[in-house]
Structure 1
């Protein structure tokens, strides 16, 4: 049997591994920085270096320099969010996702318009081209975000007119302009819904509840979530499945993986946004520990046109994921992976920070954790308590030098 030739746009080790495990011959469009990471994994003949893997022109030029085209591959795909549209454009019929489908999963305004038209509860929103237009946005509390952003990068919020004026002034002082998406503030506990859809049917769903809404890190909150189990919260789980099914149908995301954010208002769920990728942080590891489901394998199976291999089984413990941070300053030392792994309930550790790193204020960069951890407990309360204890210990154990030369 001939191997399928897959062109992956944007480096992801998990994607290369998953595709190869299913018998694919993988090549990758990657940046010079990622080119160093692929050493020993992909040879020169299977890599196409570009300045930016989201840029279609550079991607096509890199292929042409080797006298290669998308037609030489059976499938063209992206595992991460940023190159999704590029993969659809370059791949054409060889991509499992259309250009329109990729755009909808990237552009927050397009997707909110579609789910709103389908009757799915969602915040009122408006595209803001010039910062001054925000003054006329008819909500006393709101959020402003990049149209194609992810996480909290570039996101600003306001809770009164004074704070709104501050946001306008900040935007006007920046060299990069709009457009942005302005949204009314949505109350409720933030959830992340992760899973697999095939043939328009939600085949697997994991529901996670953030301990504090992600923007709360700016006030010192934890970036952490705990799995909401269907056997303990059947009503919430049923509402989450219904919202997910309706939203994915509206977005015409019929096959693949998804990461969807929503807000629980008690009597209903409100759609936040949706991505056609596996969730960030250690969503993949948390889901695998809780349900035995390999989301990377399911992504690769969809890309290669293979049947799903889902056989979920709920573990006895309740799992959660936690981002660990240090105070700001030049990092001199912090707990090692083995030291973190030895703490009660810890099941997985990915240490990101290294001695010598300049660590930012935790509240200013939720996307730059020092470590990512999966934690287990007998129930949600024990898992949550263990995460709080772990976060306090890790932050206190880190040794940093302040930029003024003192110690922190």
Structure 2
């Protein structure tokens, strides 16, 4: 029996590893977070942990299991697992991404150090080790600046500092640990998602954000829409993503999610890249739009299995993520046959329940409701994304957490 160790920080419904590997002769050994354990409970080897992201028993257990089952590969699709999986591969001499590569895709300063002076423009940046560094950077580059953790995903902890008062407020708050400060870049944000297998880029496609990836700060939705090859930005973004992958120590098998701006004066500027699939509903959108499951194909590549992606056949589709509001969720829209849910919805995912208390948006990849929406053209899809967002808002009800109804 062959085995692969999987760091599974996703629900089974999203990543059914056993179903993907059925008939391959490879059994997944699952290490997961407590909240996802029930979904994997039918599998023979499942180990779940509270405080999954920071619990170091995850590493201890993964090492024991990898040795016990003589695993041939280690798979990890979540940002929190990128480095721990790379360290484990390196420790055991397994193929795949090792630590130096993982850090280059995880630590935003290491990442930009690799790209500085290369073919893709990057903003001015500096590792933020004290308030003096922030003050010096502002004196040199002026406002606005962006301060963000070096290794978080989904814009978590990112702050746009526009003036001295906002800088003072940031400096007065508790120290957030390893961060970077960089020059603010205005413009439309895009992302490029794809797959590397056998050291080659086997799939790549650019997308634009509707709203942007900081919309969750205002508890507002964010959406993703594929560009057509005729879009003026299409070739520029694909070329930039390939150039970034060539400059970084890119592993031979990986999904990737890169972000770029195109500024009002038409400069293409790098934001960041991750060696994983995109968050939110991006993987689901790619599956509907191109017939490719990036997570499944990435797993196959890691396990040395032949790909199944074939030739992508494109059909317009977009992704919508709606964050929670502040308060207790009292009502969700009715779903399924016979309801007024727009017919353009191809896939839906709800992560909360009625009666649950929320505290607004936390990060761009986390959402209360996620939808994949289709249409006849990209313009149709963009309009349908707006329509589904309005429908959800009109059919959702909240109450304050401290109202007479109590709290969840």
Relative to the length of structure 1, the TM-score reads: 0.87
Q: What SS class does the counterpart of residue 389 from structure 1 fall into?
A: helix
Q: Can you list the C-alpha shifts for 1:70-111, whole angstroms capped at 9, x where unaligned? A: 771111221212111111212222141111111111111111
How far did 1:69 drift? Answer: 1.6
Relative to structure 1, is the Cα distance of residues 32 and 369 closer, same or farther in structure 2, using a 3 angstrom cutoff? closer
Gaps of 5+ in 2: none
Q: Could you tell me which residue of structure 2 aligns to residue 205 of structure 1?
A: 204
2:166 to 163, 166, 172: 163
Q: How do 1:49-198 residues align onto structure 2 when only pairs under 5 Å count?
A: 49-51=48-50, 58-59=57-58, 61-62=60-61, 69=67, 72-92=70-90, 93-137=93-137, 138-170=141-173, 174=174, 176-198=175-197
Q: What SS class does the counterpart of residue 308 from structure 2 fall into?
A: coil
Relative to the length of structure 2, the TM-score reads: 0.87
Q: Could you tell me which residue of structure 2 aligns to residue 240 of structure 1?
A: 237
Alignment partners' CA distance in 2, 1:403 and 1:320? 33
Q: Can you list the C-alpha shifts for 1:310-351, whole angstroms capped at 9, x where unaligned? A: 3233334x2111112454211111113327883131111111
Relative to structure 1, is the Cα distance of residues 389 and 108 closer, same or farther in structure 2, using a 3 angstrom cutoff? same
Gaps of 5+ in 1: none
How far did 1:286 drift? Answer: 0.7
Which range is displaced more, 55-64 or 158-167? 55-64
Alignment partners' CA distance in 2, 1:203 and 1:341? 40
Q: Which has the higher helix share?
A: 1
2:375 to 368, 374, 377: 377
CA RMSD after TM alignment? 2.6
Contact 2:5–2:62 under 8 Å retained in 1? no
Q: What SS class does the counterpart of residue 261 from structure 2 fall into?
A: strand
Q: Could you tell me which residue of structure 2 aligns to residue 319 of structure 1?
A: 317
Alignment partners' CA distance in 1, 2:57 and 2:81? 12
Relative to structure 1, is the Cα distance of residues 328 and 256 closer, same or farther in structure 2, using a 3 angstrom cutoff? same
Alignment partners' CA distance in 2, 1:19 and 1:222? 31
Alignment partners' CA distance in 1, 2:39 and 2:271? 34
Number of residue pairs aligned between Structure 1 and Structure 2: 393
Q: What SS class does the counterpart of residue 123 from structure 1 fall into?
A: coil
Relative to structure 1, is the Cα distance of residues 15 and 157 closer, same or farther in structure 2, using a 3 angstrom cutoff? farther
Contact 2:149–2:176 under 8 Å retained in 1? no
Q: What SS class does the counterpart of residue 203 from structure 2 fall into?
A: strand
Relative to structure 1, is the Cα distance of residues 127 and 275 closer, same or farther in structure 2, using a 3 angstrom cutoff? same
Alignment partners' CA distance in 2, 1:56 and 1:165? 33
Q: What SS class does the counterpart of residue 79 from structure 2 fall into?
A: coil
Relative to structure 1, is the Cα distance of residues 342 and 98 closer, same or farther in structure 2, using a 3 angstrom cutoff? same
Alignment partners' CA distance in 2, 1:55 and 1:73? 23
Relative to structure 1, is the Cα distance of residues 219 and 83 closer, same or farther in structure 2, using a 3 angstrom cutoff? closer
How far did 1:246 drift? Answer: 0.9
Alignment partners' CA distance in 2, 1:177 and 1:313? 43
Contact 1:143–1:184 under 8 Å retained in 2? yes
Matched, 1:401 2:395: no
Q: Could you tell me which residue of structure 2 aligns to residue 348 of structure 1?
A: 347
Q: What SS class does the counterpart of residue 193 from structure 1 fall into?
A: strand
Q: Could you tell me which residue of structure 2 aligns to residue 226 of structure 1?
A: 225
How far did 1:6 drift? Answer: 0.3
Q: Could you tell me which residue of structure 2 aligns to residue 289 of structure 1?
A: 288
